[in-house]
Structure 1
């Protein structure tokens, strides 16, 4: 059965379309243990939440089945509070969640669709290329129940109010702030901030199983998220094995892993068919960015070719239409880096 799947070399990043990330044997063992035992689930969840609180130094935690579920449940809790059965009623909702226009992204699914599941009215603040604190303030009304702030490379980066500015704005207006930073690396950076609800993925930077967790300063809001998990969140249920696997992944998690970037860079920099440089994104993640030289082949054509082989090679092609491809080294080893490099040369030299 295993041989029926094409091998994938993932130099794209922690991408849902490729299964997000790998987890280590300790995580697999934890999942096997939980999968082969029974628990009183209410006690089990409380214990896991308490353990995660200690690990990430926060006051309130709720494990969910994904970061996207965390967004929907946080919106539900902000709108309906502890009225968990009202979500299912088809009634006009005047309650609004403010989202910067430049944050209204599609990360694989539209952010707006996650909010619409619980009948949220989304108010877009600012413009596609600018959203200042004043733009958020302008949108606040008696119907505002929360501000949703997205921390992601998918979002517009320039001319946008900073997270700290939005935290201050929400405190001044006594409005809950929900921050989605699913793929971020530094959990403690966010647990230290005065944020009502923070949403993380358990399967991206954390390298755990499919899961997510919400945490933050607003105990009432997070307790209501737990209540909504049992009703509208029933379709987003997370299993015991993934909950326990997430805990183990968090125990093993380190922000800065020992990756010898220079050894990877050297492999590609010696390739005469491409011109390489180092690139660091908004999260501080180092990647190798290259453009094709001495060939009429486009970056888009090269990316498609690499994906189509018996071994599917995925590079980060967000900027392919500008002539650039990126290599994310976090999920590849040196052997795979050489395979990528040889495949690039084989295609370009054949053209």
Structure 2
């Protein structure tokens, strides 16, 4: 009996994605073993942070990435990266945060209004306030440029908004935004928490000029759920470390332990050596299995599409013919045992195979057949 069964919890079939609410992703056995090894020694934690970060940067192997800092998640990474831009390596300023009460303090972060998500609050945790620019379609280069001032600590960008991969609108490319910010001596922070796959994103945002790029450790990298990664140049990354645990700083409560650091290091080792084309073939096969399986269900039509590098399935529910609305079907799938989670929007359900395990695509079809057959 598993620990979850002892607690009376149901297993979840995750066709929703690498979302925190479901635990992110599954760690490979090698990552679990690395965490187990790390738990058996005491270690100088600041030294481990430095050595592991530089090893991770070497593994990624891009001239644009000199160093890395491990944090306890991508949200923590946004706060720590902002603190680094505000306070740098000045110990007095680091201790003062989130109070920006010294002369000349940079107390603003510029962000496109269309990029303000629930996670944007983390920029403010270090002290600055957000300066929102543009409208629902994003901000123009002129709007961003006019918002940058001597008070600007950083300009931010959501990593998913590259051409052809937009989930939140932008009217300014990352390269344009970098040029505008750097012309004023202001660093650029990219929130790339969920932007793996595709694998090339691990290097791309830094190579486009971003100063600090933040990834979740527990999503596409398949590392510990309570881990995140900040990539950048030595100077700013060292500032991130000083604004992070175990130092007295705004990052001190966002503790990442030796186990998470070693687990994420091992996850990156595996990720850069991984056969990503084989992953795509497997996801395509599971997506096709779902499509083939629901083909005979009355009131359900489906199509395969590509989103963020992952082949996915969009199922459209005709309530009149199916006898259930998409919302009701979503609820019944989640209420079963195991609980099946998909993404629901309007009259559609989306099956994301990123986190599926062998046999689960077939189980999804079986459950839908039971509910609609």
Per the normalisation by structure 1, the TM-score is 0.91
Q: Deviations over 1:265-301 (max 9, x none)?
A: 33332322221111112x2222111112422422111
For 1:1-351, list aligned pairs within 5 A: 1-3=3-5, 4-57=8-61, 58-81=65-88, 82=90, 83-89=93-99, 91=101, 95-106=107-118, 110-111=119-120, 113-152=121-160, 157-185=168-196, 186-209=201-224, 210-217=226-233, 219-229=234-244, 230=247, 231-253=249-271, 254=274, 255-258=276-279, 259-270=281-292, 271=294, 272-273=296-297, 274-281=300-307, 283-293=308-318, 294-317=321-344, 320-321=345-346, 323-349=347-373
1:42 CA drift (Å):
2.5
1:141 CA drift (Å):
1.7
Aligned 8 A contact 1:125 1:136 in 2 = yes
Q: Deviations over 1:161-185 (max 9, x none)?
A: 1212212222222211011101112
Aligned 8 A contact 2:136 2:169 in 1 = no
Counterparts of 2:349 and 2:283, CA distance in 1:
17
Counterparts of 1:285 and 1:183, CA distance in 2:
12
SS of the equivalent of 2:240 reads helix
Counterparts of 1:77 and 1:171, CA distance in 2:
16
Unaligned runs of 5+ in 1: none
Counterparts of 1:261 and 1:41, CA distance in 2:
38
Aligned residue-pair number: 340
1:158 CA drift (Å):
3.8
SS of the equivalent of 1:37 reads coil
* Worse-matched range after superposition: 18-27 or 283-292: 283-292
- 1:159–1:193: structure 2 CA closer, same or farther, 3 Å change rule? closer
Deviating runs (4+, > 6 A) in structure 1? Answer: none
1:91 CA drift (Å):
4.7
1:160 CA drift (Å):
2.6
Aligned 8 A contact 2:283 2:354 in 1 = no
Counterparts of 1:256 and 1:190, CA distance in 2:
21
Counterparts of 2:24 and 2:338, CA distance in 1:
18
